[in-house]
A = this chain, B = another copy of it.
Amino acid sequence: MKNILFDFISKYVSLTEDEMNAIGSADIFRSAKKGTILLKEGQRSKDSYFVLKGCIRTYYLLDSEEKTTAFYTEMEALTPPCVVNKTPSDYYVSCVEDTILTVSNSDMEAEINSKFPKFEIMCRMLSEELLAKHRIDFDAFKTSSPEQRYLNLLQSRPDLIQRVPQHQLASYLGIKPQSLSRLRARILEKKS
Contacts and interface: CB of A to CB of B under 8 A. Distances in A.
A90 interface: yes
A135 interface: yes
Contacts of A141: 138, 141-142, 174
Contact of A134 (B80, B128, B138): B138
Contacts of A19: none
A15 interface: no
B81 A136 contact: yes
Interface string A121-150: 101100111111111111101110000000
A62 B120 contact: no
A57 interface: no
A143 B158 CA distance: 23
A180 B120 CA distance: 44
A124 B123 CA distance: 6
Contact of A131 (B134, B143, B172): B134
Nearest to A138: B138
Contacts of A132: 79-81, 84-85
A81 B135 contact: yes
A67 interface: yes
B60 A143 contact: yes
A91 interface: yes
Given A90-B136, A134-B138, A135-B134, A79 B143 contact: no
